[in-house]
Each structure stands twice: as C-alpha cells, then as structure tokens.
Chain A
Amino acid sequence: MNWVVNNLGLIWSLTLDHIALAVPPIILGFLISIPIGWVANRYHASRGVLLTISGLLYTVPSLPLFIALPAILGTGILDPVNVVVGLTIYAVALMVRSVADALAAVDSGVRQAATAMGYSGWQGFWQVEFPLAGPVLLAGLRVVSVSTVSLVSIGSVIGVSSLGYLFLNGLQRNIVAEVISGIVATLVIAIVFDLILVAVGRILLPWAKADPSARQTRRRTAERALTGTVTS
C-alpha cells in the first residue's frame, strides 16, 4: 500500500494518459461504423462481405497491429497515433455488426410510416431509424468501450505511455502493488466509462426502458459481441 500512497501522482497522470488514448477510438469507431453498418444493412449483398472483413480485422492481434501501423501510416513507432488508429480499427470492427443489427431491428412498419409521412431517406434515417436503433447501438458501444480501455495498456509494450507502464515497471522492480494498482485503475476507468454511457443513454433514449422487445435485441447484441461469434 505504501507504494500506492507514494506514487498517487504517477498513477493519476498515467490514468489521464490512458483516458486520452481510449476516448478517441471509442468516438471515432462509433462515427465510422455508422455509414458502414448502414450499407451492410441496406444492401443485402454487402452484408456478408462487410461483416466478414470486420470480423477478420478484429482477429488481427493488437501488438502486431501496433507494430505494423507505423510501416503503413509512416508514423514513428513511439507515436501514440499508432495506438489510437489501431484501437479505432478494433472499435469499428466490433461496432459495424452492432450498427447493422440495430438498424435491422427497427420495425419496418415504422420506417414505412416515416416514408408515408413525407420524410426523405436522409431525414428518415436521422430522425426515425437512428434514434430507434439507439438502445442496441448503446449496447454495442458499451462492449467497445470495455474492450478499448483494456487494450490501451498493450500500447505501453511499444513505449506509448498508459497504465500499462505500471505493469512493465512493476514487473522489472518486482512490486506487486504497482501492477495491482494498474489493474484496478484500468477497471475503474472501464466502469466509469460504462456508467457514463448508461447515463447518456438514459438521457438521450428515455423510451428505451419501456420497450421489452428492444431490450431483448439489445441483450442479444451485447451477448453476440461478447461471445464474438461471427456466424455469417
């Protein structure tokens, strides 16, 4: 415990580094996967191809990806951009399936009603389909958030500062408390992010709690993302 008390400053600054690396991939991954997921849902032929590609991208192990990205992007190997890009790729890979499933779960009657009311395709998507897909999207985003937060620490192997530093330094100096504090801090970040996402969901999607069918789809999406089963 002494180590933790003496190094609170270090833990805090590494926690901030960790958060700074984790937030952009979650947000970027969400934004990028919306159009891809929309295409996968809208054009049936593209669904299998897009979901297979995203499944394969998720298969690429993280450390090799972080190492290979500088060669592709032309960045330096110590550049944090590599980690952000790598994690964004994983976020997109996980999220595309959620977006496609979320849009597919929107009642087609509602979609037809929107068209009948005179909504254009663009308006109908943003004002009707997207909000109705919200709860399933949120479930997918929560999975992305947890996995991103835990993957950030791998970046420290290639020298990008995050809570992973505590693991490597703790191993070298044989301080168990240092490694445990790194693990606990990572878990705390993951939980706080999750609570924030749930709170945002409550505010933006107040109807989500009332609809039992949506809850079931949401649960299934979360579980499918967790099991990681690629079945198409």
Chain B
Amino acid sequence: MNLFLDGIAWIFDPAHLNGPGGIWVRIGEQLSYTFGAVALAAIIAIPLGLWIGHTGRGRDVAVLTSGGLRALPSLGLLIIFALAIGIGFKAPLLAFVILAIPSLLSGAYAGVEAVDRRTVDAARAQGMTEWQVLTKVELPLGLPLLIGGIRSGVLQVVATATLAYFASGGALGVFINDGLKTRDYAELIGASIIVTVLALLLEGIFALLQRLFVPRGVTAGRISDVRSRPLRPRAVVGSPIQEGK
C-alpha cells in the first residue's frame, strides 16, 4: 500500500500540480481530447445511427463495421495516424474519433430499435410524419441507450487519451512515459490514479445524466428484473381437467 501513498503524495506535490506541463494542464488536455473526439464522432455517428434504426437499412453493415472497429488495437490506430499526418494533437484526436464511433453508432441504432414497434405504428396512425415519428417518439424513447452509447464512447476515449503522448500530443500519459523512463514508480502510480479517478468521475456524471435526461416512464433498455415469472404463479384451483381438450 506504500506505493499508493507515494503515488498520492506525488499527485499533491505543488511542483507537480501547477505550471505548464503540470497535472492540471494535462487533465485539461485529456478532457479536451475526450469531449472533442466524442463531439466529432457524435456528428457523424448519431444521425447515421438514427437513420439506420429508423429505416432498418444498413443494419448488418453497421453491426459489422462497429464490431470490426472495436477489434482495432487503439495503440496501433493512434500510431498509424501519427505516422501519416505527423505528431501533435491532430493525430490522436482523429484516432479517438474513430474509436468513439462504434459505441455512439450502436447506441443510436439500438436505441431506436428498442422502441416498441406498436408505439411507432400508433404514432404513424395518428398522422405523424416520418420526421415527427423519429424526433417525437423514437428519439425520446430510445434516449437511454443513446446516452449509454455516448457514455461508453466517453469512457473509452478518456482511457485511451492516456496514449496520446505517443504522438507527442500531451495529456496524462506524459507522466506515465516519464515514470517508465526514469523508473519513478510514485509518478507512474500517481498518474494512474488520476486517470482512473477521471474515468470513474465521468462514469458517475453520465449515470446521473442518464437519469436526468431520460423522460419519466421511458424504460427502453432499462432492465429492472429480467427473470421470467414462473409458468404457474398460483396453484390451479377450481379448473377441472376437461376431457378431450
């Protein structure tokens, strides 16, 4: 446990916290990557996902692509971008956009798909246009899964942003790189604690957002109790077996 105390002591050393290249600056960089990449990914993936979910077209393609993208090793992807467009903040940002797309895409289409088809048909029967069906029925009802997709995209990028230093892109990985080079275990552990706490904080914030932004009564994707009821909840009383039935 001493190593963890050393790590915590490293974090709260004012010499590490402040100044250019200090912990606060690096946290800022890590968060800029996270929200920048997720925002860019959202512009591409959410409209596409909603369209796929609404029309049902291209579903298989979307499943395959998002599955395939997930198998891509993030480090390799980042380094390919660094070699292709040069070091700096652009290469990591683009790599993180690609990493975030599968979560956002599948969140968006799974959200729309999870809406009860009868509800959609009812909306159509009320005379809603396709656009109204999408924005007034499918989008609000699919919101839990959509936000869930954003949440997992954010978590993936905030974790992976640690690797941005490979492209000289700053962020918290800089401390991990320093620590590995100088065998400074306090710095390694300290930086690891910061990244982990950051990820857990974002997870908590999103769990809260999911509660706040989801309209009351919406249960798509929320699993309260998936266990099925017993076939015969009560003993059958007073129904004699009818012959020939």
Which residues on B are within 8 Å of A, measured CB to CB? 3-4, 66-68, 70-77, 79-80, 82-84, 102-103, 106-107, 110, 144-145, 148-149, 151-152, 155, 158-160, 162-163, 166, 173, 176, 180, 185, 188-189, 191-193, 195-196, 199-200, 203, 207, 210, 221-231
Contact = CB atoms under 8 A, between A and B. Distances in A.
B83 A63 contact: no
B227 A183 contact: no
B144 A64 contact: no
A231 B223 contact: yes
Given A60-B199, A167-B79, A179-B76, A68 B189 contact: yes
A175 B50 CA distance: 39
A190 B71 contact: yes
A162 to B, nearest CB: 10
Contacts of B188: 67
Interface in A32-73: 41, 44, 55-56, 59-65, 67-68, 71
Contact of A146 (B70, B77, B106, B226): B70
Q: Which of A153, A180, A223 has the most CB of B within 10 A?
A: A223
A2 interface: no
Interface stretch (A7-15, A23-31, A99-107): A99-107
Interface class of chain B by DSSP: helix
A231 B221 contact: yes
Considering the complex of A and B, which 8 residue pairs feature the smallest CB-CB distances, nearest first? A229-B148, A64-B192, A61-B159, A228-B152, A71-B3, A109-B231, A190-B71, A183-B76
B178 to A, nearest CB: 13
Chain A facing B: main interface SS: helix
Contacts of B159: 61-63
B106 A227 contact: yes
Nearest to B152: A228
B50 to A, nearest CB: 15
Contacts of A149: 71
Contacts of B207: 230
Contacts of A230: 148, 207
Given A62-B159, A67-B188, A112 B230 contact: yes
A41 B83 CA distance: 48
Given A104-B227, A104-B228, A176-B83, A63 B73 contact: no
